[in-house]
Chain A
């Protein structure tokens, strides 16, 4: 065996580190400078082609929807309205036009000529037959909306509550199969009836998508409160007509808005905070 040595070589190491640091700094400066000087904000991939030049046409089902779509003179305010304006900006479109389309039509793939739909839509296999969905813009696990002052912090507390459910909602299964309340849930016609029953004390709790529950509680803080969220992988996404060539562009823009904090800022402004601030109540899957 022969031997070699590795000198401690402090001066060499210092020179190497210096050189590398200099090169790194130069590349960083060049990258940020070049990236910052770029006026084009679109990502790699296909460009967005709107139905009407310079205009992002957005379909939504419910106007006004507290905390989501609220008319404000010629424009709209709210979580999803803010998302629509941010998307238009990201896609280099100067204007947003909003069209109201019945929810049943949207999920059937008819967006009323709009480029896309933003309407608290959760992707499901059935809906994917008629629509293309982007990645999530916000997570939407089931959340427990209660009357202000009602508390529930664990699975047993949830069982003890009187629940209101809408028979056609997918969340009804969650109430029956995961929460398994002691008392038979009260069946109600729709979400409006649910909220009314909750406010009047006919039921103690209803289950909604987390952002929706947050929006309602933020809009009426003296009436409603979000007691907690259950685990779940549901989310809200932007929908486009099936086969739309704009899917990639909108999908990239949604990811960018999540990544750069736009969605969190909107959630803080309109939903009272991001979903992570809501307590997780552990119940069996």
Chain B
């Protein structure tokens, strides 16, 4: 025989099939206006044992990769929760959270009871119907409703529903898998949840910050710190007999303040999540899809019941909010659309229920029908409901949402980085470092920029860095501001008259606080002194108070008069409404000064009780 051509087999073939589905599944169904998640589930079915059969029933590779994807999915779900919205609308969010959890939960338990299932199976079904995934939030936000209080309540409620759903999962799975008495399992799960809670509040953020301080300048290391974090928390959860996904979710909540939603780190996490891990999980779930089970009267009947329990429960919760939380009926419609889609937490709980033998194949297939129905129904209703809600006036943005830090090619000073970190931290915002220089100066090389990036973002800061060149330094800063619309600008040691005409920046940054950092000090200040300059009542203005709070925390004190005279090691934050670029030198008194130029628009009213930057 001259050649021996064999049918392909082995790991390479499995990966080809897997990633072909990941690539083509969403593309094909999105052409029909169906969300990509459905394409991945159907693709998994197509190549699986109940479809063409290219992936056999005993295949371990795809399900095990899917397990990693499941942990990743729940980690990202925790990471993307909008804690700022929850804080800003806590009463409405918590009240609505309880409603939108409890009503579908009760419905699910009733469905289980009506089928004479074991109570753990009924409880788990209830919990998976009670959670939801904010698949349509980007569309609602793009329609201008991100600042609507009802929408914000639904977004904030997700923190509660997902957490409670996973707590039920932890309890039920613990009781099913644990070998001890009910009391011992209860104690074990309670201790485990306490360890996870305390770990995610006190330990993991500190450890992650330490790790980022050491390796955060390296993009890959930054990503891996996140991956290791959720895997460690998953292992900790399993030590206490709790499903790993609960630990991964808590890890997401723990790192939530360290990974801004718009940051490059989140972009990388999203990239790997959306390109590899999460689609692989969805394909692995699709392998369980079995038409011979799904398209039977009993499965479709069950699917009908859980669709009614879920969609009905979510609808009741949304419309109970009309009298209780003073939502309008139109807003209730949008809330229903937001809280109906079942995806991440539902799939996670379903797969865990299947793996521990609590859910049968027919129930898994019925839940897949629910996922399809919930996504399609909410997608179809999304347009008509959002159009009926009036768009509120432009939402307020948070000071620290997007801080621009303009510096020389030598990089930002320690003080300027500190200021940027203090401004962006509370809003979980990003810091955009802009290295500015005049035309004719030696350009910053790629290697220098990378070195600077590693140095600046080694610690808690997250963001990007770019060079900007213009005829003068002042023009370069103005150019940078014009192209990114930052929420605050920090200008580090550049604000002298020799740096050019600053009037363009004054005009472009109108409405944005600009902090000019200068003076001999170049370390983290020991204290902050708020100075009122001139006759204005700036110290009473909310934005000024906010700046002082962020920069000084509880250690700032106020004095009236010109800058100068602060104690050694203290920084004077000089609030002013006028631009000081006329040649005066703030450092004349030898004092380190942060001159905060407060936007005129903010002097009229206070600060909206708005959400943060996430």
Contact = CB atoms under 8 A, between A and B. Distances in A.
A249 interface: yes
Contacts of A235: 58
Contact of B120 (A29, A35, A136): A35
Contacts of B86: 16
Contacts of B582: none
B94 interface: yes
Interface in A6-53: 6-9, 12-13, 16-17, 19-21, 23-25, 27-38, 40-47
A273 B68 CA distance: 25
Contacts of B123: 31, 34-35
A5 interface: yes
Contacts of A234: 58
B118 interface: yes
B361 A2 contact: no
Contacts of B118: 38, 40-44
B177 A6 contact: no
B185 A44 contact: no
Given A24-B193, A37-B119, A259 B360 contact: no
8 closest Cβ pairs, A-B complex = A256-B357, A45-B360, A36-B182, A31-B171, A4-B610, A4-B396, A38-B119, A6-B612
Contact of B186 (A27, A36, A257, A261): A36
B144 to A, nearest CB: 16
Contacts of A219: none
B224 interface: no
B601 interface: yes
Contacts of A252: 357-360
Interface string A139-154: 1000000000000000
A151 to B, nearest CB: 27
Contact of A23 (B56, B127, B160): B160
A35 B363 CA distance: 19
Nearest to A31: B171
A31 to B, nearest CB: 3
B60 A255 contact: no
A123 interface: yes
B177 A259 contact: yes
Contacts of A29: 171, 186, 190
B164 interface: yes
B277 to A, nearest CB: 22
B546 A31 contact: no
A43 B117 CA distance: 6
B608 interface: yes
B337 interface: no
A35 B177 contact: no
B58 A2 contact: no
Interface string A244-263: 00001101111111111100
B179 A261 contact: yes
Contacts of B543: 3, 5
Contacts of A2: 394, 396-397, 511, 601-602, 608
Interface in B568-614: 599, 601-602, 607-613
A285 B256 CA distance: 43
B419 to A, nearest CB: 16
A261 B177 contact: yes
Given A6-B88, A38-B118, 6 more contacts: A2-B601, A7-B426, A9-B87, A32-B175, A44-B360, A45-B361
A233 interface: yes
Given A29-B190, A44-B363, A255-B354, A3 B177 contact: no
Interface string A192-226: 00000000000000000000000000000000000
Interface of A: 1-9, 12-13, 16-17, 19-21, 23-25, 27-38, 40-47, 90, 123, 133, 135-136, 139, 233-235, 248-249, 251-261, 285
B175 A36 contact: yes
B319 to A, nearest CB: 23
A46 B182 contact: no
A43 B121 contact: yes
Interface of B is mostly: helix
A24 B356 contact: no
A1 B485 contact: yes
A8 to B, nearest CB: 6
A70 to B, nearest CB: 25
B167 A28 contact: yes
Contact of A6 (B84, B119, B189): B84
10 contacts: A1-B397, A5-B546, A7-B549, A17-B201, A37-B182, A43-B117, A45-B363, A135-B57, A233-B61, A259-B357
B462 interface: no
B160 A40 contact: no
Contacts of A139: 60
Given A27-B171, A233-B56, A285-B11, A34 B119 contact: yes
Contact of A256 (B58, B172, B358): B358
A16 B360 contact: no
B607 A4 contact: yes
Given A2-B396, A6-B612, A16-B90, A44 B599 contact: no
B441 interface: no
Contacts of B397: 1-4
A82 B64 CA distance: 27
B170 interface: yes
Contacts of B460: none
Contacts of A24: 163-164, 167, 193, 197
B9 interface: yes
Candidate in A1, A29, A33, A136 with the most chain B CB atoms within 10 angstroms? A1
Given A38-B120, A249-B360, A5 B542 contact: yes
B174 interface: yes
Contacts of A44: 112, 115, 117-118, 121-122, 125, 353, 358-360, 363
Nearest to B354: A255
A233 B399 contact: no
A40 B119 contact: yes
Contact of A254 (B57, B178, B357): B357
B117 A255 contact: no
A252 B120 CA distance: 14
Interface in B112-162: 112, 115-123, 125, 127, 159-160
Contacts of B553: 8
B160 A20 contact: yes
Contacts of A38: 118-120
Given A6-B87, A252-B358, A253-B357, A260 B487 contact: no
A260 B356 contact: yes
Contacts of B186: 28-29, 32-33, 36
A45 to B, nearest CB: 3
Contacts of B98: 23
Interface in B184-202: 185-186, 189-190, 193, 197, 201
A3 B171 contact: no
B176 interface: yes
B242 to A, nearest CB: 10
A260 B356 CA distance: 7
A25 B190 CA distance: 7
A91 to B, nearest CB: 11
B410 interface: no
A234 B56 CA distance: 10
B170 A285 contact: no
B540 interface: no
B10 interface: yes
